[in-house]
Amino acid sequence: MSLILFAIPLFLLLIIIELIVDKMRGTQFYQFNDAINSLSIGIFSRITGILKAAIPISFYFYLYENFAIWSLSEQSLLVWFFAFVAYDLAYYWSHRLNHRIGVMWGSHVVHHSSEEYNLTTALRQTSTPSLLGWTLYLPLALIGVSPTVAIACGSLNLIYQFWVHTRHINKMPSWYEAIFVTPSHHRVHHALNRDYIDKNYAGVFILWDKLFNSFQAEKDNVSIVYGVSHQLKSWNPIWANLQVYSCLLSDALNTRSWRDKIVLWFKPPGWRPDDVTASHPRGWVTTKTMNKYDVALSPYLKRYLLAQFIIVIGLVLAFFISAHSLSLPMNATLCLLATLNLVVISGVQEQKGWALWFEPIRILSTSLAVYLALDALEVENGIWLTSVACLILLATFYYVNVATWSNSNKLAQYTLQDEPAEQ
């Protein structure tokens, strides 16, 4: 967690640089609502990570302390190299299972539900635990890789994967493409195209995919379409994490077969009992039928949302930095407040009627939390500073939204060019 926390400013800087490059090249690889949603999901994953970190006991710690065969030195570079490579191998198989078992896909799908592909996509990390994926890392504990080294390798693995979520880098040098995961490899992994589905699972070393027959090179004549076949169609970060679970639960409740009620959780994503498929049809999209989801916003509302989200990012980062020194109840309260911010902002993005009422509540509750923090830090005139900021935000919200909020949700439809026949 700490390494990733330190990397967040670098992530944001690289996103800004990519936005500038995208603007200069006119490539339009960023879509406003989608980018905000990806950042929101990333923040939400860190929020839930704080709560999960509060659990003092884990299987990894237990196995390491009681059953480790060796005690590998944390001071050895060879141990670190071995742990990093072994962790990536475990990640490969965990990632592969996430794509092949329905309930595990429920945890991982949030990373793939964006219909764009840029550096913000990398931040779409899950807030729900993978059912079986964590067990694949336990052999490292038995071998004697300390929790400190394992956690650091996991963080470095995730940090490496950030930069490969871009369309602005075509190919790396051939020697690098042969060994490591690159943007070209990972674009394939995120594609909805038939030839690309369930390929290139590795996090750092693409050698695993070549060794285990899951490698697919990017084709020059194929126009990649990003997203999943069951579209999310929402900017809500909580729903993004629960959509697949909801579908699985619905199918389990509606099927008449007791066997299917159990096995459907472990079947590949998209599998449904025959009776449920007939009685409760579900829409799927292909590269030919995909219409990217969006909600039309006025320029004023976009500026307002961007300003609000920048404020939320700053406040959340301050919370992350101080979370280790706060009590569990205080962390839980602040996590709930941060979640409220993300959910209400998503409601404003979707122009939900309830958001008009909850946005002032969000501003007032967040302002109160800021005031209490300033008071605890003994900042002079904290109440006046907070009050003025709160009034400005409320006035801006009502001006922007009452004056420009559209009366209905308008989906901005994007027509995709026909793809080559070989797709």
How many domains does the chain contain in total? 2
Q: Rounded to whole angstroms, how far apart are CA atoms 261 and 253?
A: 7
- Does residue 81 belong to any structural domain of this protein? yes
Q: Do 248 and 380 belong together in one domain?
A: no
- Does residue 41 belong to any structural domain of this protein? no
Q: Do 287 and 304 belong together in one domain?
A: no
pLDDT of residue 419: 41
Question: 133: helix, coil or strand?
Answer: helix
- Does residue 50 belong to any structural domain of this protein? no
- Does residue 419 belong to any structural domain of this protein? no
Q: Do 207 and 269 belong together in one domain?
A: yes
DSSP 417: P
Q: What is the pTM of this model?
A: 0.88
pLDDT of residue 145: 95
Helix (H) or strand (E) holding 20: helix 2-25
Q: Rounded to whole angstroms, how far apart are CA atoms 172 and 230?
A: 32
Across 63-159, the runs of DSSP E, i.e. the strands, are none
Q: Do 246 and 392 belong together in one domain?
A: no
- Does residue 30 belong to any structural domain of this protein? no
Domain encompassing residue 277: 1-18+59-291
Query: What's the full length of the chain, in residues?
Result: 423
Q: What is the pLDDT along the chain (423 residues), one digit of tens a residue?
A: 568 888 989 999 999 999 999 999 999 999 999 999 999 999 999 888 876 655 545 788 889 999 999 989 999 999 999 999 999 999 999 999 999 999 999 999 999 999 999 999 999 999 988 878 888 999 999 999 999 999 999 999 999 999 999 999 999 999 999 999 999 999 999 999 999 999 999 999 999 999 999 999 999 889 999 999 999 999 999 999 999 999 999 999 999 999 999 999 999 999 999 999 999 998 889 999 999 999 988 888 888 899 889 888 988 888 888 877 777 788 788 889 999 999 999 999 998 989 888 888 888 888 888 777 767 666 666 565 666 666 666 667 665 665 555 444 444 444 444 343 333
Neighbouring residues of 299: CB distance < 8 A, sequence distance ≥ 6: none
Q: Rounded to whole angstroms, how far apart are CA atoms 40 and 309?
A: 9
Q: Do 95 and 232 belong together in one domain?
A: yes
Q: Do 283 and 327 belong together in one domain?
A: no
Asked if 41 and 124 count as a contact pair (C-beta separation under 8 A), the reply is yes
- Does residue 328 belong to any structural domain of this protein? yes
- Does residue 32 belong to any structural domain of this protein? no
pLDDT of residue 403: 52
pLDDT of residue 157: 96
Q: Do 309 and 287 belong together in one domain?
A: no
pLDDT of residue 216: 97
Of 279, 247, 281, which Cα lies nearest the Cα of 264?
247
Residue 26 backbone zone (phi > 0: left; psi -120 to 50: alpha; other: beta):
left
Q: Do 248 and 273 belong together in one domain?
A: yes
- Does residue 413 belong to any structural domain of this protein? no
Q: Do 310 and 232 belong together in one domain?
A: no
337: which 2 tokens?
Answer: 């407040």
Q: Do 286 and 160 belong together in one domain?
A: yes
Which of 273, 291, 309 marks a domain boundary? 291
Q: Do 211 and 246 belong together in one domain?
A: yes
Which of 249, 264, 291 marks a domain boundary? 291
Q: Do 231 and 375 belong together in one domain?
A: no
In angstroms, the first-to-last Cα distance of the chain is 40
pLDDT of residue 60: 86
